[in-house]
Amino acid sequence: MNLIKPFSTLALAALLAACNQTSSTNSETTAIEGKKLTVGATMLAMEHEFVVNVHDEMVKQAEKDGIELLTVDAERSALKQVEQVESFIGQNVDAIILNPAEVEACSPAVSKALAAGIPIINVNSETSAKPTAFVGSDDVEAGRIAMQHIADKLGGKGNVLMMEGYMGQAGQIKRAQGAQEVLKKYPGLKLMAQQTAGWDRAKAMELMENWIQSYGNQINAVFAHNDEMALGAVKALTDAGLKDKIMVVGIDAIADALQSMKKGTLDATVFQNAQQQGAQAVATAIKAAKKQPFEKEVLIPFELVTKENLNKYLK
């Protein structure tokens, strides 16, 4: 029931940009080449578990390589992100890592960095302006894997509901696209409804409750664009006593989702390798800054997680 997007606290933006900066350094491995490299990173939202996981790995990689990593939190605001990149340019960092909030609205950040001659690496999701390099996974593939799993399990026939991410974000658009590709192949699979729950567990639970009212026993499977929403759907279905009959599949393989799978409530998820994304992003940024050769597109494959291979992912 989120009516209006949270106030954009523009007045505080500059202040926060300053406050949110955390720097991680490692003095032991400094000064191999005399000058320590500085990489600025602006992250979509440090309250999302997946983003935090990516960032943790970035910090580790930065320590290992002895560079300074400046991180700021965009709090999901593209405008803020553009401002943050501008201030990185002002600080004359050696490279920028951008975890974009939006496809279009964050593009100016990319163009500005390139114009200033600073390499900029997009991590996890894309912008319409082409960055120096992209590290991430193809979200279309994630949607394809999840929906394919549903198709396989249902034998290509049944009624499916799709819970979408925050409308207009690359993740939502591409995961929906991947799912639609699979649905086209199976005329027996019917998409009864698709609706956003804004990546949020509580909202997903409400949406699922309302769907149960609408479609009740006709539902065979639910595909959620992320695990948070999948877990909300699982909760609503469990409460309504319908979970045994309806399969739920999410994406991201966050800890809560794996626990839920272990209990046998969530059916499947798609593992997006946060560690790899974080580490590769930093590694690519360093190469680009040092003008060493690097891959323009580092794609880290998604992996389907089911009961069978669950143990591999449980920590």
Partner 1 sequence: MQWPSEMNTTKTLISSKISGQLGQYGLLVAFLLICVALAIISPKFLTVQNGLIIVTQVSINALLAFGVTFVIITGGIDLSIGSIVAVAGVVSASFAHPDSYPVIVPMLMGLLVGVAFGALNGWVITRSNVPPFIVTLGTMTIGRGLALILSKGRPVSNLSDEFNFLGGGKILGIPTLIIILLVAFAVCSVVLRKTVLGRYMYAVGGNEPASRASGINVSRVKMKVYVLAGGLAALAGILLTSRISTGQPNAGEGFELDAIAATIIGGTSTTGGTGTMTGTLIGALLIGVISNGLDLLNVSSYYQQVVMGVIIVGAVVLDSLKK
- Applying CB under 8 A, does 7 fall inside the site for partner 1? yes
Q: How far is the CB of 11 from partner 1 (least distance, A)?
A: 9
User: Pick from 213, 291, 292, 315: which binds partner 1 (CB under 8 A)?
Assistant: 213
- Applying CB under 8 A, does 27 fall inside the site for partner 1? no
Helix (H, G, I), strand (E, B) or coil at 79: helix
Q: How far is the CB of 254 from partner 1 (least distance, A)?
A: 8
Alpha carbons 227 and 268: distance in angstroms, whole number: 10
- Applying CB under 8 A, does 239 fall inside the site for partner 1? yes
Ranges of H-type helices in the chain: 10-19, 49-65, 78-91, 107-115, 139-154, 170-185, 201-215, 227-239, 255-263, 274-289
- Number of C-beta neighbours around residue 56 at 10 A: 13
- Applying CB under 8 A, does 59 fall inside the site for partner 1? no
- Applying CB under 8 A, does 235 fall inside the site for partner 1? yes
Alpha carbons 312 and 170: distance in angstroms, whole number: 29
- Number of C-beta neighbours around residue 154 at 10 A: 17
- Applying CB under 8 A, does 115 fall inside the site for partner 1? no
- Applying CB under 8 A, does 9 fall inside the site for partner 1? yes
Q: Is 74 exposed, middle or buried (0-12, 13-18, 19+ CB in 10 A)?
A: buried
- Applying CB under 8 A, does 255 fall inside the site for partner 1? yes
110 vs 176, beta carbon nearer partner 1: 176
User: Pick from 144, 174, 201, 225: which binds partner 1 (CB under 8 A)?
Assistant: 201
- Applying CB under 8 A, does 8 fall inside the site for partner 1? no
Read off φ and ψ for residue 200, nearest 5 degrees.
-105, 135
- Applying CB under 8 A, does 18 fall inside the site for partner 1? no
User: Pick from 193, 242, 304, 310: which binds partner 1 (CB under 8 A)?
Assistant: 193
- Applying CB under 8 A, does 263 fall inside the site for partner 1? no
Q: Is 87 exposed, middle or buried (0-12, 13-18, 19+ CB in 10 A)?
A: middle
The DSSP code for 246 is S
The DSSP code for 7 is P
Alpha carbons 303 and 157: distance in angstroms, whole number: 24
Q: How far is the CB of 47 from partner 1 (least distance, A)?
A: 4
- Applying CB under 8 A, does 169 fall inside the site for partner 1? no
Q: How far is the CB of 74 from partner 1 (least distance, A)?
A: 14
User: Pick from 68, 86, 256, 303: which binds partner 1 (CB under 8 A)?
Assistant: 256
User: Pick from 167, 244, 264, 314: which binds partner 1 (CB under 8 A)?
Assistant: 167
Alpha carbons 203 and 29: distance in angstroms, whole number: 46
- Applying CB under 8 A, does 210 fall inside the site for partner 1? yes
Which range touches partner 1 (CB under 8 A), out of 9-17, 96-104, 146-154, 273-281?
9-17
Alpha carbons 23 and 38: distance in angstroms, whole number: 10
Give the up-direction half-sphere exposure of residue 288: CA atoms within 13 A in the CB hemisphere.
Answer: 28
> What's at 157, amino acid-wise?
K
Read off φ and ψ for residue 259, nearest 5 degrees.
-60, -45
Contact residues toward partner 1 (CB under 8 A) are 1-7, 9, 12, 16, 45-49, 51-52, 167, 193, 195-196, 200-202, 205-207, 209-211, 213-214, 228, 231-232, 235, 239, 255-256, 259
